């Protein structure tokens, strides 16, 4: 069987969630499947992070813009390759597809009412594109994959799908995230202090950066240790605006904001942290939650959307709209060694249930089933 996998952005230098999911899934399929022929369709860029194997072929497609690449260049390439199916991995797909289409729809947050926030122009344009494309592409799919039961139910209700099957395939977890990944020299590039709290920032309102900063300000008022907060992937100008809006400018001296953190160095920042905050308002999965758990770090997460499903019953959860509740969990972790150790042990056990091999096995079953249907 000839299988085409769209992975447009995996070669870009600054990868984000869906890029890593596509990349790790393809790598796991390479290890698992030596029979089918795969064509990995990418946009040329600086980080050639995937290598060809005997049955995995990389096809670089040149095109100046994201939507033109997907809507024009991708269908033209598929018409030449003539695969038995194409798997588009990142929420969108071409409106015209010359072969059976399988779509991974990670979430439909872009269809929901937008909460106020300072999204970048890139994020705003992406949202407009997805809002227009996805409702038109979904009816053309042979099958839709999503990443949690929560999101599967949400997609089903939103689109009232009956003829098109929707299945849940959980994301996996790389073994690079483990408690042994310790290197003080790497951590000091981002955080000079010995112990710290860690938060992956984002300008997307769903990430609840403002609420998390507010929670941290409440923590500082009561904490005896007053651990600093490391915020990755957020510019100082954005942080300043949020601190001003929340009227908590006084906490800035406790913040460290080094900007983008490469995935190669991210594991060391997890293991060096006292605790990790993943307090989003809305997530369809929450990969950083599992990465931190696997690194042996207690995680405070939200009790909304898919996060309770991924964190499990033993996860430390708070209402993300209640900064006081988040701050209280931080204080309890700081003051209660028994709770801290229990959260660490539970996280390691929970994270062990997820792997990219497991994700790839489920995908391969789906590919083979579509071929026989």
Separation between Cα atoms, residue 21 and residue 23, nearest integer Å: 6
In the numeric block, which tokens belong to residue 348? Answer: 């390691």
Q: What is the pLDDT of residues 320-349, one digit of tens each?
A: 999 999 999 999 999 999 999 999 999 999
Residue with tokens 């083979």: 368
Q: For 63-67, 343-347, 352-356, which range has the lowest pLDDT when averaged over its residues?
A: 63-67
Whole-model pTM: value is 0.92
What domains can you pick out in the chain, each with its CATH number? 2-172+355-372 (3.40.50.2000), 184-351 (3.40.50.2000)
For residue 330, the model assigns a pLDDT of 98
Separation between Cα atoms, residue 310 and residue 333, nearest integer Å: 21
For residue 195, the model assigns a pLDDT of 94
User: For 293-312, what is the mean pLDDT?
Assistant: 98
In the numeric block, which tokens belong to residue 103? Answer: 């779509």
Confidence of residue 120 (pLDDT cuts 50, 70, 90): low
Reduced 3-state DSSP string for 124-187:
HHHHHHHHHHHHHHHHHCCEEEECCHHHHHHHHHHHCCCCCCEEECCCCCCCCCCCCCCCHHHH
Q: What is the pLDDT of residues 143-171, one digit of tens each?
A: 999 999 999 999 999 988 778 999 999 99
pLDDT > 90? residue 92: yes
Contact 169, 145 (CB under 8 A): yes
Contact 254, 222 (CB under 8 A): no
Q: What is the pLDDT of residues 30-52, one digit of tens each?
A: 999 999 999 999 999 999 999 99
Contact 234, 190 (CB under 8 A): no
* Phi, psi for 245 (deg, rounded to 5): -65, -40
> Which residues are bridge partners to 144 per DSSP?
103, 166
């Amino acid at each position: 069987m000839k299988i085409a996998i769209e992975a447009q952005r995996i070669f870009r230098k600054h990868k984000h969630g869906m890029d890593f999911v596509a990349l790790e899934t393809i790598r796991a399929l390479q290890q698992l499947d030596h029979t089918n022929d795969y064509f990995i369709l990418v946009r040329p860029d600086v980080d050639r992070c995937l290598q060809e194997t005997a049955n995995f072929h990389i096809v670089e497609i040149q095109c100046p813009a994201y939507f033109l690449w997907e809507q024009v260049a991708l269908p033209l390439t598929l018409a030449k390759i003539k695969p038995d199916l194409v798997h588009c991995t990142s929420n969108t797909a071409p409106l015209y597809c010359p072969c059976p289409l399988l779509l991974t729809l990670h979430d439909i947050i872009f269809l929901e009412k937008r909460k106020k926030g300072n999204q970048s122009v890139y994020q705003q344009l992406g949202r407009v594109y997805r809002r227009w494309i996805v409702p038109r592409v979904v009816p053309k799919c042979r099958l839709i994959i999503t990443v949690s039961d929560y999101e599967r139910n949400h997609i089903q209700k939103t689109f009232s799908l009956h003829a098109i099957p929707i299945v849940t395939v959980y994301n996996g977890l790389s073994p690079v995230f483990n408690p042994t990944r310790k290197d003080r020299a790497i951590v000091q590039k981002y955080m000079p202090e010995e112990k710290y709290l860690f938060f992956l920032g984002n300008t997307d309102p769903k990430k609840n950066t403002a609420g998390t900063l507010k929670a941290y300000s409440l923590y500082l008022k009561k904490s005896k240790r007053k651990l600093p907060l490391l915020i990755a992937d957020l510019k100082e100008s954005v942080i300043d605006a949020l601190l001003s809006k929340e009227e908590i400018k006084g906490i800035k001296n406790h913040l460290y904001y080094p900007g983008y953190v490469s995935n190669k160095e991210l594991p060391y920042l997890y293991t060096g942290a006292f605790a990790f905050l993943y307090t989003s308002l809305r997530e369809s999965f929450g990969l950083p939650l599992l990465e931190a758990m696997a690194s042996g770090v207690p995680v405070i997460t939200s009790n909304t959307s898919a996060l309770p499903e991924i964190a499990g019953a033993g996860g430390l959860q708070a209402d993300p709209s209640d900064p006081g509740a988040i701050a209280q969990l931080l204080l309890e972790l700081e003051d209660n060694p028994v709770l801290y150790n229990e959260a660490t042990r539970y996280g390691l056990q929970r994270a062990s249930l997820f792997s990219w091999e497991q994700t790839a096995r489920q995908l391969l079953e789906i590919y083979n089933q579509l071929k026989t249907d």
